Structure 1
Amino acid sequence: MNKPLDKPLFPPYLALFFGVLAISTSAIFVKLSDAPSPIIATYRLVFSVVLTLPLLFWNRGAIAEIVRMPRKQWLLCALSGAFLASHFLLWFESLNYTSVASSTVLVTLQPLFAFIGGYFFFGEKLRPLALTGGLLAIAGSFVIGWGDFRVGGMALWGDILALAGAATVTGYWLIAQYIRQYLSSFSYTLVVYSITSVILVAYDLAFGYSLTGYSAANWGWFFCLALFPTLLGHSILNWIIKWLNTTTISMGILGEPIGTAILAYFILGEVVTMPQYVGGLIILAGIYLFIRNNQTSKGVESGEPTASPPKKLA
């Protein structure tokens, strides 16, 4: 049977805001590092696991929970880790071929995949105004990156990689939405990050990437990627997905290009253009309209039990 939802200790929408703010730093740290993309992704996850493991001393119940996980949950966590590893590899690699703005805009088109996945796997239906808000926010993303898009050469390849990264991360969130009704956020995050780390290390070894020999600055960026966009970003979103579904979280992540554009201005010296200003306002308006009219959140206000697990995943 499905467990009733606990009432969150912290407002989920406020947590979503801080999680998206933390994720906005990701493209900046990736751009600052000159290490190969797979290595950046690997140490982002490896350092995340290393920073998380000491917390087991204060969360002994998580050890018992992980040991008792049934085979089905292990398989879902493995699939989730594969999706997350693919997302990082695809997105980080895209930054080598296209700009921060283009890559971030395309990878945050995940609501398009979330709308479809939420409907088929969870039976979620959006109210017309909520759907309008979602499409408006997506349009704002295109306004931000429009002048940066290129339709030929290696930039197009980078855009394709970023779009594929959007699809794979949506798979990661859809699995999290299901399994977080049964596993604590800490246990799920630790298991999935560990599996993702193993997959990425295996990828590095298979394709001949060296795991050592990087500059002190690179190790610093690896650590920053683990701490800010992963532990203070993805981990927070893994927590709130018990109360906010994949579609809502994907909509919130559409705010990432705004934060990234601001950070790119101050850190990378990239110019904030008029389309970015206008697109940012459109995104914020779309997110507000979506949240205002969204009825697919899971007991955030009332703490009521969620619906039964989807038949296709049960």
Structure 2
Amino acid sequence: MARISPPVALALSILALSTSAILVRWSGAPSVVVAFYRVLFTLLLLSPLALVRHRAEFRSLSTRDGAVATVTGVALAIHFAAWFESLNWTSVAASVTLVQTQPVFVAVGAYLLLDERVTVRTVGGIVLAMAGAAVMSVSDLLAGTAFAGTALYGNALALLGGVMAACYVLAGRSLRQRVALLPYVSVVYGACTCTLLLVALAGGDPLTGYPAREWVLFLGMAIGPGVFGHTVVNWALAHVDSSVVSVSLLGEPVGATLLALLLLAEVPGGATVLGGAVVLAGIVVTARAQRLGT
């Protein structure tokens, strides 16, 4: 990973993350169960390498950092549970866009808690990106689609997922300055897995008895959005300001919307297309502003 440019790694992670909503939609399992197996399989894929190469880092992990990583994992669990459920109630475009509203909360939190500089151009880029996200989020209501009656509930769940994602990014930015990637994600994913398991058991959702197709989808979510998506984003947090990472992730709604068009026959309206263009413009403005430091 040390040989890979952080911007290139971020671009690849966005491509991987863009497949997440499609894989969730294809699954017929309860949303909490889908989230549980996605994170569990990601943890199982990464933990052997983490234990072999970073045994000393695990032993030296402070109690405070372990506690923060655990709380971060709980936030990630709420993020997944809320967002995956939102995909049952609103369109892919609206859900994936609203869950990425976290740059607003990340920028404020980074300024207040991490002492990161947020420039005027950065704020302008975030505002521009969020304006595009707003246009995309109301497209279902304006167009009178199949989700018109449930879109508000689904959008609210996606927004909750966005708030929790902001907590996840901010905590990761702080911890990743002193904790190696694999030990960090192992603790976070472990806490996330345990939290989702408790939620699934409390809700009476079955954990077994699914056809082979579902297990393939669970594994695909772990390899694509899990390993090449979220884990690469965690790596980037040690090399790029959290505001840049968060706003770059707004490229995910655009990619997910295009995949939904091709694979789910969800045709985006004019408002969705316009909003996606504005989101991309906001990403470019913010990334350039952070690079120039103005």
TM superposition score normalised by structure 2 = 0.93
- The aligned runs of 1:15-30 (5 Å cut-off) are 15-30=9-24
Q: Is the 8 A contact 1:170 1:246 kept in 2?
A: no
Q: How far apart are the structure 2 equivalents of 1:118 and 1:73? A: 18
Alignment partner, residue 7 of structure 2: 13
SS in 1 for 2:4: coil
Alignment partner, residue 176 of structure 2: 180
Give how far 1:221 is off.
1.0
State the one-letter code of the partner of 1:46: L
Give how far 1:152 is off.
7.5
Give how far 1:192 is off.
1.1
- Among 144, 165, 170, which residue is 2:161 paired with? 165
Alignment partner, residue 156 of structure 1: 152
Give how far 1:24 is off.
0.7
Q: Is the 8 A contact 1:125 1:296 kept in 2?
A: no
- The aligned runs of 1:1-314 (5 Å cut-off) are 8-56=2-50, 60-149=52-141, 153-294=149-290
Q: How far apart are the structure 1 equivalents of 2:24 and 2:249? A: 18
Q: How far apart are the structure 1 equivalents of 2:15 and 2:228? A: 9
Q: Is the 8 A contact 1:127 1:295 kept in 2?
A: no
Give how far 1:97 is off.
1.3
Q: Is the 8 A contact 2:72 2:188 kept in 1?
A: yes
After superposition, what is the alpha-carbon deviation per residue over 1:9-59, rounded to whole angstroms, capped at 9, x for unaligned? 321111111111111111100011010011000000111111113324xx6
Alignment partner, residue 307 of structure 1: none
State the one-letter code of the partner of 2:59: V
Q: Is the 8 A contact 1:21 1:256 kept in 2?
A: yes
State the one-letter code of the partner of 1:37: S
Q: Could you tell me the percent identity over the aligned residues?
A: 37
Give how far 1:124 is off.
2.4
Q: How far apart are the structure 1 equivalents of 2:161 and 2:120? A: 27
Give the direction of change, closer, same or farther, for the CA distance of 1:261–1:152 in structure 2 (3 Å limit).
closer
Q: Is the 8 A contact 2:95 2:155 kept in 1?
A: yes
Give how far 1:194 is off.
1.4
Q: How far apart are the structure 1 equivalents of 2:122 and 2:178? A: 28
Runs of at least 5 residues in structure 1 that lack an aligned partner in the other structure: 1-6, 298-314
Q: How far apart are the structure 1 equivalents of 2:292 and 2:203? A: 42
TM superposition score normalised by structure 1 = 0.87
Q: How far apart are the structure 2 equivalents of 1:199 and 1:286? A: 34
Provide the aligned length of Structure 1 versus Structure 2.
289
Give how far 1:153 is off.
4.7
Q: Which protein has the bigger helix share?
A: 2
Give how far 1:295 is off.
5.5
Give how far 1:278 is off.
2.5
After superposition, what is the alpha-carbon deviation per residue over 1:268-304, rounded to whole angstroms, capped at 9, x for unaligned? 111143333332222222111111111698xxxxxxx
State the one-letter code of the partner of 2:257: A
Structure 1 range deviating more: 70-79 or 202-211: 202-211
State the one-letter code of the partner of 2:212: A
State the one-letter code of the partner of 1:168: M
State the one-letter code of the partner of 1:27: A
State the one-letter code of the partner of 2:30: P
SS in 2 for 1:84: helix
Give how far 1:94 is off.
1.0
Q: How far apart are the structure 2 equivalents of 1:278 and 1:203? A: 38
Structure 1 range deviating more: 21-30 or 138-147: 138-147
After superposition, what is the alpha-carbon deviation per residue over 1:152-200, rounded to whole angstroms, capped at 9, x for unaligned? 8532111111101000011011111001111111111112111211111
State the one-letter code of the partner of 1:164: L
Q: How far apart are the structure 2 equivalents of 1:145 and 1:169? A: 18
Structure 1 residue ranges (4+ consecutive) displaced by more than 6 angstroms after TM superposition: none
Q: How far apart are the structure 1 equivalents of 2:10 and 2:141? A: 28
